């Protein structure tokens, strides 16, 4: 709060200086750019004759009965959905009326992601790559949200949003290059697998520490607001990350600074091995939004149309009104947390099978397409065969590619190499020359 207060005071000083030096013209320009003067920034007038609270920190009335607020004041935030589990549209007014080509693209991206996951997971199990995280069961949250964004919107991911990048045009070769850390990797082999990033696709490179992207997204959204470029920022995270202190900071900054930001929580039931009933006692993550002054919604994350509708409307209003939104997408992590995890130690096979066989986002969308005559068994067989072939070809290309030049370890931090870094570089090459039998440099680019 001290940081927010300091920033508010600093903004107030700057604002008054602009008015004094540039006059009414500058003031109107600031108004057009969306810098609204909030109630907190105005000197309030107090009427001492009114028997009502005058405290500046809340809007409330006095009561004369001692009563604590119950943690669940309502039965539970409802889950918005468009399709039932059989792919039937429940309320025709909520049908996004997407074209056949768009829906087929949704389905093909979701299944391509699923195929890539299976191949790269097996690749790690065979020792070909060091680590991997699948997206099984959460494909609808990726594709539905990605489709609702503008390509210029900035994305902050956690580590299970590969489908967002795939929808934006990140190629299979780039996915494979990153996981294999070969010479085609945009990150030059410096990150562990699944830590994707793309400047061209406005996808900020993923960081390993949990929830660091949340306050970063708030800062980026504030910068976007100041630029007044009709862009939004979306920040993905799991319900486990919402327990981090960074989540509080990001939520509070974005609300008080009125930023065009969509917080997208994938509530998949588990924070690694910790189930939700051991993570929090409140009504999930969406219930936290009102406490920060954010508009919130809970959606069926296995319904790609519900995710699309919610994200599209949140994006529209975030840009138009300069305010953050919180979307909690209820879904289920069918796969293990990562290749370092064995989920059979903390959940039953029957539980996983239910979500895999009876409430899967891919099968739900397939039911929708089949009912409209847009997809058939022959189409399914042909696409599955084609998609696997495409992924395997990219996989084989990545395996044959050389590793990045070791010299890249020392670049992209300083414009000119500083003495201490040069000393480390020389030490590395002395070590490599001394133990050259352990360092096959022919596998690296020259």
Asked if residue 83 lies in contact with residue 364, where contact means CB atoms within 8 angstroms, the answer is yes
* Catalytic status, residue 431: no
Residue with tokens 């920040």: 235
Catalytic residue among 6, 130, 171, 208: 208
- CA gap 356, 363 in Å, rounded: 9
Alpha-carbon torsion (103, 97, 170, 195), positive or negative: negative
* Catalytic status, residue 445: no
* Closest-CA residue to 255 (of 156, 150, 326, 319): 326
Asked if residue 170 lies in contact with residue 179, where contact means CB atoms within 8 angstroms, the answer is no
Q: Could you give the C-alpha distances from 143 to 17, 135, 237, 332, in angstroms and in order?
A: 46, 12, 15, 15
Catalytic residue among 5, 122, 348, 393: 122
- CA gap 67, 58 in Å, rounded: 18
HEC states along 104-159? HHHHHHHHHHHHHHHHHHHHHHCCCCCCCCCCCCCHHHHHHHHHHCCCCCEEECCC
Asked if residue 205 lies in contact with residue 191, where contact means CB atoms within 8 angstroms, the answer is yes
Sorted by sequence, the CB contacts under 8 Å of residue 22 that are 6+ apart come out as: none
Catalytic residue among 244, 338, 367, 445: 338
CA 93 to chain centre: 28
- CA gap 354, 71 in Å, rounded: 31
Catalytic residue set: 122, 208, 337-338
């Amino acid at each position: 709060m001290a940081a927010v207060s300091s920033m508010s005071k600093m903004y107030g000083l700057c604002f008054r200086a602009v008015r004094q030096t540039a006059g009414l013209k500058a003031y109107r320009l600031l108004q057009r750019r969306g810098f609204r003067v909030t109630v907190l920034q105005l000197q309030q007038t107090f009427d001492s004759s009114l028997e009502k609270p005058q405290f500046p920190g809340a809007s409330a009335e006095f009561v004369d009965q001692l009563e604590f607020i119950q943690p669940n004041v309502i039965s539970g935030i409802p889950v918005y959905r468009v399709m039932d589990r059989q792919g039937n549209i429940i309320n025709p007014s909520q049908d996004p009326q997407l074209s056949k080509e768009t829906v087929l693209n949704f389905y093909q991206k979701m299944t391509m992601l699923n195929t890539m996951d299976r191949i790269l997971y097996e690749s790690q199990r065979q020792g070909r790559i060091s680590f991997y995280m699948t997206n099984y069961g959460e494909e609808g949250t990726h594709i539905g949200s990605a489709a609702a964004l503008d390509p210029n919107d900035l994305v902050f991911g956690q580590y299970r949003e590969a489908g967002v990048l795939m929808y934006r045009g990140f190629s299979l070769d780039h996915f494979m290059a990153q996981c294999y850390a070969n010479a085609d990797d945009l990150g030059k082999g410096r990150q562990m697998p699944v830590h994707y990033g793309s400047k061209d696709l406005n996808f900020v490179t993923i960081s390993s520490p949990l929830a660091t992207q949340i306050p970063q997204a708030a800062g980026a959204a504030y910068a976007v607001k100041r630029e007044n470029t009709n862009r939004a920022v979306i920040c993905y995270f799991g319900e486990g990350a919402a327990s981090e202190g960074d989540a509080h900071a990001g939520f509070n900054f974005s609300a008080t600074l009125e930023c065009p930001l969509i917080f997208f929580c994938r509530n998949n039931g588990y924070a690694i091995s910790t189930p939700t009933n051991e993570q929090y006692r409140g009504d999930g993550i969406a219930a936290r939004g009102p406490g920060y002054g954010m508009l919130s919604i809970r959606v069926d994350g296995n319904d790609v149309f519900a995710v699309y509708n919610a994200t599209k409307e949140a994006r529209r209003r975030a840009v138009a009104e300069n305010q953050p939104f919180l979307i909690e997408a209820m879904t289920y992590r069918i796969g293990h947390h990562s290749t370092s995890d064995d989920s059979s130690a903390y959940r039953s096979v029957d539980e996983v099978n239910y979500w895999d066989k009876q409430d899967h986002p891919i099968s739900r969308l397939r039911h929708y397409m089949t009912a409209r005559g847009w997809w058939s068994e022959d189409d399914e067989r042909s696409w599955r065969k084609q998609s696997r072939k495409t992924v395997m070809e990219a996989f084989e290309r990545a395996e044959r590619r050389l590793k990045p030049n070791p010299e890249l370890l020392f670049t992209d931090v300083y414009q000119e190499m500083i003495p201490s870094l040069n000393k480390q570089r020389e030490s590395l090459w002395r070590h490599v020359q001394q133990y050259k039998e352990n360092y096959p440099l022919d596998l690296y680019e020259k």
